[in-house]
Structures are given as structure tokens and as C-alpha cells.
Amino acid sequence: MSAIRRSVEISRRPEDVFSYLTDASHMPEWQESALSVSPVGDATVGVGSRVRVTRQMGRRRMPMTMEMREYDPPRSFRMDGIDGPVRGHVHGTVEPIGDGERSRVTLDLDFESHGIGKVLVPLVVRPHAMKEMPKNEQHLKDILEARP
């Protein structure tokens, strides 16, 4: 299956949007299924940095470790799940719009499955993500546009 792709325009500078997006501690603020995030090792954001994310899918809690594999401020980033039965792969781009005071965020989300994940991804995870992503984008937009 192909990646889920969504875009949203935000009335904030790309640098502000990128900084917020790549600070994983903000995930629970704008992502409905993200319950908690904690750094693994050094908390510095960049290629190789890791976080432990716990997500809620229905009644199931799914912990996973995500690693930053691409980090090109303020343009693009990539975070990949590196353990667990369901491994999310997120690629994000932030493009300036007009005079650079607005941004277009595009997120591509795909999944890799192992073991029980081969059943969970098509039946639970992917449909849940497709339903959740538009809400998450709206939360992201609302939060960033309300910040001073």
C-alpha cells in the first residue's frame, strides 16, 4: 500500500513550524493517539536522536521507538519506527508560502509490520491513521496559529 499523505497550510513561519514538529515532546499535544513521549539517551534533536512513543489504538497501547533519520531544518525530516510489531515511518516537509510568513506542511505516513503487526496494520492501524490524520493536522494548525 502507498503512504498516507496529508497537507495543511499554517499561518506561521517555516522555522517555527519545523521546530515544533520535530520536538517530539509536542506529539501528545497535537496527535490524538500519542499518549506519551520520552527521549532515549541524549534529548538533542537531530539525525540519530530517538524517542519512545506510546500510542493508543482502540483499547491497545502500542509503545515504539522512533529514530530521526533525516533532519534538514526548516525543510524536511524523517522519523522511523525501529522496533515493535508496527513501525511507523513519517516524512515531513515544510514549505514557505507567499512572503514566508505562512507554511505548507506535508506529512507522509507509512507502516512496516512484523509478527502480529501484519494483521494489525491493514485492519486497525492504517484505518485509524487515515481517520486521525485530518484531526491531527487541524490540531497542529490551531496550536501553532494560537501561539504568540
Query: Per-residue pLDDT tens for 47-106?
Result: 999 999 999 988 889 899 999 999 999 999 999 999 999 999 999 999 999 999 999 999
pLDDT of residue 1: 66
State the DSSP string of 134-145. HHHHHHHHHHHH
Alpha helices in 1-148, H assignment, sequence order:
14-22, 27-30, 117-120, 126-146
SS3 call for 52 = strand
Average predicted confidence (pLDDT) for the chain:
95
Selected residue with higher pLDDT from 43 and 124:
124
